[in-house]
Structure 1
Amino acid sequence: MDFDASAKAIIAGVGGKQNIVSLIHCSTRLRFSLSDFDQADLDELKAIDGVLGAVIAGGQCQVIIGNDVVDMFDAVQNELGEVTGQATKGPKQSWGKVVLDFIISVFQPLVPAIAGGGILKALLMLLAMFGWISDSSQTYQILTLVGGAPLYFLPILVAITTAQKLKVNPLVAVSTVGVLILPDLVTMMTKGTQLFGMNVMNVTYSSQVFPAILSVLFYAVMERFFTKYSPKPIRIFFVPMMAMLITAPITLLFLGPLGYVVGEGFVSVILFLNTHLGWVATALLAGALPFMVATGMHKPMIPYVVSTFSTVGKETLYLPASLAHNISESGTCFAIAIRTKDTKMRGVALSAAISALFGITEPALYGVTLQHKRALTSVVIGSVIGGAYVGIVGLAGFTIVGPGLASLPMFVDKSNPANLIHALIGFGLSFVVSFVASLLLWKNETNNEAVKADATTTTSVAAEDLTAPIAGQVLPLSAVPDDVFSQGLIGQGIAVDPSEGRLVAPTDGTIEMVYETKHALGMKTDNGAEILFHIGLDTVQLNGQYFESDVQVGQHVTAGEVLETFDLDKIKAAGYNPITMMVVTNQDNYAVAVDEVTDDQETQSVMNIAKLGV
């Protein structure tokens, strides 16, 4: 692969150097913050050599590379030099995207240091358990301190990443946050101390993240304020002096304790849910991870994991669920490599299987799983069953790293040797279940395509035309800014940019599901096709506000009958995209043909569905 050529193409695909505000990378993705996301051409990016996929999610343009991400990142950085894009340009993003982008930018760079230190400590405990090193030796104790250093100095690391994100002086920001863990000040707080006549709360700030974030956020405001109003000749010392002078006391008296309480509360809520839902929470999270990873929505879990480690020293939800999901991806891909008759697919599946076995799942997700419904089903089955087991036994992870074969020491627990055994059992169970499920479910696409191509001559076909379920601009699913729909993960169909808030039945059928938040419903046509209607993107967050359902589950409806009404203007005003999707979810039994239409065609055919094998 020519990384330099691909790097130039990637830069062009995201809108050019002038459109790039910042660039970071995780274990498999290049993550661009852009001035104008409309300038990013996802189709162009996906066609570049070495690119597995591209999505816009979490306030970033994410280019999925896989195992070569570091080499590609270096090549892109060499081409970019100094990034010149300005975050203030381009369309305004929603607060949700801004916050998500901030969280990812602050926490994502922390993972390598924490993971490296955590694995080192786990390996040392493993060696001690086998008697190959004494845990009372000075060598063991010093190396353990080395492994624990990233967590102890977490406030400093967070101060660096937060300052970089906010584009303020990182050295002054670190100096300000460093006050929180000064040994002399820690001693004073332990004995009880006052500042300006006010008591300073005794908080152990080592390993804490939220106090550092709040402190740097406030410091950024101070730095910009004094930079704006101070004379240029004295800025070099006056700005940092005044910013530190104000920020450090405010942090000690108010922001630090507030951040500590927020962190403790955040972890307590998650632990409460985990305790009361038990293994069900782990199983459900494991089953949802393929979709979360595909859209990058698993990244907001990192703050929870980091906070949990700093509070209780282990994590019992996300990491065990990730183990079940990662290994299920591997098992599925290994099975497909055996079953497929496509030489190219066999090579992709085998490579992806090995990568997933070691905890890197994006090659499997984008190269195999998300492109094949049966593969995705196998992964979900293996993930849920494996997740249920590790949830039942209470598996705990002790460092932040993608669970896989090489990182199994992350489950070493000196006080509970059975924890590693449970991890191995969960590993094997997830692999075997997904492997067997994929062997049974997989069908070579060449056969499916032949059946569909010859359906009119080899089978009796029951076909019907469907009209648009809503007035507006009819669009292909590929135009939907959501990978779950645009990549056909749920099924094939059409989308409509609505011009009015009235959803009608496209044909005769029976209502099978009305979602409690009323933003989605399902019906089965009299011909047996299962159709899902989904009004808007992320509109589930409205909790039913602005929606009114006109039908009930089990009700038979006729073509043109009103199914649901909604306030289009208020949904738009609330910041949600009202684009509405109509997809056939049992498409393995139906040939779906989408008509080429572009105008408002509520009363004309937009899609034909033909049942195969009738």
Structure 2
Amino acid sequence: MSTQEAAKAILEHVGGAGNVSKLQHCSTRLRFALADDSKADEAALKAIPGVIGVVKGPQTQVIVGSKVADMYAAVEKLRSGTAAQDGAPVERRPLSWKHAGSTVMDFIVSVFTPIIPAIAGAGIFKSLLVLASAVGWLSSSSDNFKVLSSIPDAVFGFLPLLVAYTTAKKLDVNRPLALGIVGVLVYPAFTALATREGGVDLFGLDVPSVPYNAQVFPSILAILLLSVVERFFTKITPGPIRVFFVPLMCIVIVVPATIFLLGPLGYQLGVLLTAALIALYGTFGWVAVMLLAGVLPLIISVGMHKAFIPPTIATMASAGRESFYLVASLAHNLSEAGATFAVALRTKSTTLRATSLSAGVSALFGITEPALYGVTLQNRRVLVSVIIGSMSAGAYLGLVQTTAFAVVGPGVGSISMYVDAANPWNFINALIGLGIALVVSFTLALFLWRDSDSATLRVMGGTGTAVEPANGAGHLASPMTGVIVPLDDVDDSVFSARIIGDGVAIRPTDGAVRSPLAGEVTVLMDSKHAIGIRGDDGVEILIHVGIDTVQLDGAPFTTHVAVGDRVVVGQLLVEADLAVISAAGYDTTTPVLIVNSKNYDVTVEEAGSVTSGQALLATKAKEKELV
């Protein structure tokens, strides 16, 4: 599937262009802010070739890996074309307490994510200058060093302007006006007046002396007020004077409010967040770093790691260093790399090997989403390896009090972010922690990995979940994860009497239905609740999802194959929304039947719980009677 085709499918399954309020992207994800989140079809999105994973939360995030920029451009082009044809404004989701958490997280992501490349590049550039000075290549007292240092210093010095721009863009207010208003806070003449001995007053009111350079929250509060004032005066001002009167009133109202109230309030908010992180680290020390590193795979999987960005930036801005989130991230990122490299070495699947190698290289350089969604979260053995590797490295890095000096995704390429001219051991400890994460996660994953237990191979339709014949018997893998139920206990006389065929049933805990054998799809009901497959060895099976679910007319089901399709073991056939089925009053118990069981001796190989892909039924051809 081409990028254009994939983009079209993605846009369709998020509810169409009319449902997209805003689209952004980071290093691996398309981030959709949707007017109606319920219109996003998660199962259909995951089925699109090239989509690594989907996260529904504060935003609907579609993970596409390193080709995200091309995919973003293709989707935006389609959005623009559709909007031009429709000519209708995008419906905005109304504010409500129900969506308060999602709205706040979407705001944080929209404001802070776009500025990360600037501060990351500046931070690494600064760390390289420090490294050059530490090894004697460039004297810190030389003009060359001072001039070069002014480049990253300018980025952090004018950080309030960067935040003002992204906040204004998010709130859809006049960007130049926003920059002009916040620019007052970092204007040299104003700062000189505010910080001079004895201070300065405005109409008898003392102007607070606050160091606004490298601050983010004063800008956010100022632009929040600006958005209210601008909309109000735009609404009530006559058209002929709107072009100058609205900006004038915004300046007259917002600038004094920012100087006397919002600026100092935002500065104190930054101080409090910084103090909170420092207190957390100061109270729990290395334990806090270790625990955060261990849970980062789960936090990142739902996109909540973005909540760490504001306090991390605030801490870096005020203290020039950070010893919690960026240190834990180093441990986690390199653990993802080590574990996926081990999978690439152990697996017999060429497809999974290529995926793991690519994901491992990305994680090595600080981008973990391809590893997380492509390998780690789908395979519990890899997840265990990553968590243990992360906690081991996190414990060491916390114990030796490793500190970061740049806000960027930690990895091999950005390792200079741990260079400390006053403490050479800080960089050495970072390298040791990096090595611990790689070695521990790699060793564990190398030891624990089993192709036969790989959910990734089931998704890819690889050979990892195939159940090999033994002693002349055929074996069927379980199509679903759940609890095994004997046919005798199924609340349907047709199934319990084995009228259709012998077999077993599963009370599922997951709605994914996967192929138990290799063969051809022969039956797919219009109601999507039942599918039949003729195996290459002649065994004919029927998977009937739920009891009497034909009455639901296919509503809770999403099909991924058609009649006549070739399927392999573990290939996704159907996805069932178990919650919808149960809410409608139907039993989700799923019979798995050998339709031509008169030709076979059928044995249930498992009891109790069963995992999708695990051996479920054994079939042995009956000997023909001699006449």
Partner of 1:584: none
| CA distance in structure 2 between the aligned counterparts of 1:596 and 1:158, rounded to whole angstroms | 44
Deviations 1:514-553 (A, max 9, x none): xxxxxxxxxxxxxxxxxxxxxxxxxxxxxxxxxxxxxxxx
Relative to structure 1, the CA distance from residue 330 to residue 219 in structure 2 (aligned partners, 3 Å threshold; closer, same or farther) is: same
Partner SS state of residue 22, structure 1: strand
Corresponding residue of 2:122: 117
User: In 2, Cα distance between the equivalents of 1:225 and 1:279?
Assistant: 50
Cα deviation per residue 1:217-276 (whole Å; 9 max; x = unaligned)?
011111011111111110000000101111000111111111111110111011101111
Q: Whole-Å Cα distance in 2 between the matches of residues 156 and 487 of structure 1?
A: 52
Instruction: Give the letter for the 2:398 counterpart.
Output: G
Amino acid at match of 2:377: L
Shift of 1:370: 0.8
- Asked if residue 326 in structure 1 is aligned to residue 325 in structure 2, the reply is no
Rounded to whole Å, the distance in 2 between the matches of 1:90 and 1:225 is 18
* 2:180 is aligned with 1:175: yes
Q: 1:159: which partner in 2?
A: 164
| Residue equivalent to 1:64 | 63
Separation of aligned partners in 2, 1:227 and 1:264? 35
Distance 2:510 2:177 in 1: 47
Question: 1:544 — aligned with what?
Answer: none
Aligned-pair distance for 1:182? Answer: 1.1
Between 1:348-357 and 1:78-87, the stretch displaced more is: 78-87
Partner of 2:359: 352
Question: Is residue 299 of structure 2 the alignment partner of residue 292 of structure 1?
Answer: yes
Q: 2:368: which partner in 1?
A: 361
Give the Cα–Cα distance (whole angstroms) in 2 for the partners of residues 475 and 232 of structure 1.
66
Helix, strand or coil: the match of 2:21?
A: strand
- Give, in whole Å, the separation in 2 of the partners of 1:423 and 1:487: 45
Q: More deviation in 402-411 or 34-43? A: 34-43
Moved more, 141-150 or 420-429: 141-150
Instruction: Indicate whether 1:231 and 2:238 are aligned.
Output: yes
2:34 is the counterpart of 1:29: no
Alignment of 1:476-555 (within 5 A): none
- Aligned residues of 2:34 and 2:93 also touching (Cα < 8 A): no
Q: CA–CA distance in 1 between the matches of 2:236 and 2:136?
A: 64
Distance 1:452 1:232, change over 3 A: farther
Q: 1:476 to 1:452 in 2, by over 3 A?
A: farther
Structure 1 residues 170-179 or 438-447, which shifts more?
438-447
For 1:253 and 1:350, the matched residues in 2 are separated by 55
Q: From the superposition, tell whether residues 91 and 306 of structure 1 become closer, same or farther in structure 2 (CA, over 3 Å).
A: closer
- Structure 1 220/595 Cα, relative in aligned 2: closer, same or farther at 3 Å? closer
How big is the shift at 1:74? 2.0
Alignment partner, residue 81 of structure 1: 80
Q: Residue 48 of structure 1: CA displacement?
A: 2.1
**Count of aligned positions:** 495
Per the TM alignment, residue 134 of structure 1 is displaced from its structure 2 partner at its CA by 2.1
Q: Summarize deviations over 1:468-499 as a string: whole Å, max 9, x none.
A: xxxxxx996557xxxxxx999xxxxxxxxxxx
Match of 1:241 in 2: 248
Q: Rg: which structure is higher? A: 2
Equivalent residues in 2 for 1:48-447, closer than 5 Å:
48-57=48-57, 59-81=58-80, 84-88=89-93, 93-191=98-196, 192-445=199-452
Q: Are 2:468 and 2:474, in contact at CA under 8 Å, matched by a contact in 1?
A: no
Amino acid at match of 1:424: L
Change (3 A) 1:271 1:15: same
What code does the residue aligned with 1:155 have?
Answer: P
For structure 1, which segment, 73-82 or 170-179, has the greater mean C-alpha deviation from structure 2 after superposition? Answer: 73-82
Contact 2:508 2:588 in 1 (8 A): no
**Given the superposition, is the C-alpha separation of residues 454 and 261 from structure 1 closer, same or farther in structure 2, using an over 3 Å criterion?**
farther
Q: Secondary structure at the match of 2:218?
A: helix
Shift of 1:197: 2.1
Identity %: 46
Structure 1 unmatched ranges of 5 or more: 468-473, 480-485, 489-593
Report deviation, 1:4.
Answer: 2.1
Q: C-alpha separation between the residues in 2 aligned to 1:595 and 1:51?
A: 21
* Residue of structure 2 equivalent to 1:13: 13
Residues 247, 376 of structure 1: alpha-carbon distance in 2 compared, 3 angstrom cutoff: same
> Stretches of 4+ moved more than 6 A in 1?
89-92, 451-458, 594-597, 600-605
Distance 1:178 1:595 in 2: 52
- Which amino acid is 2:160 matched to? P
Q: Secondary structure at the match of 2:304?
A: coil
Q: Which amino acid aligns with 2:56?
A: I
Give the C-alpha shift of residue 452 in structure 1. Answer: 11
Change (3 A) 1:417 1:325: same
1:187-213 deviation line (CA, Å, top 9, x unaligned): 111121122322111101111111110
Cα-to-partner distance string for 1:544-573 (whole Å, 9 max, x where unaligned): xxxxxxxxxxxxxxxxxxxxxxxxxxxxxx
Q: How far apart are the structure 2 equivalents of 1:603 and 1:405?
A: 53
Q: Which residue of 2 aligns with 1:528?
A: none
CA contact (8 A) 2:36 2:93 kept: no
Output one character per residue of 1:336-372: Cα deviation in whole Å (capped at 9) or x when no partner. 1111122211111111111111111111111111111
TM-score normalized by the length of structure 1: 0.75
- Please identify, of 247-256 and 84-93, the stretch whose mean Cα deviation from structure 2 is larger: 84-93
Q: Measure how far apart 1:136 and its partner are.
A: 1.9
Matched to 1:177, the amino acid is V
- Kept in 1, the 8 Å contact 2:485–2:507? The answer is no
Secondary structure at the counterpart of residue 407 of structure 2: coil
Distance across 2 between alignment mates of 1:476 and 1:106? 42
Mind listing any 5+ residue stretches in structure 2 that lack a counterpart? 84-88, 455-463, 476-482, 490-505, 515-575, 591-606, 616-627
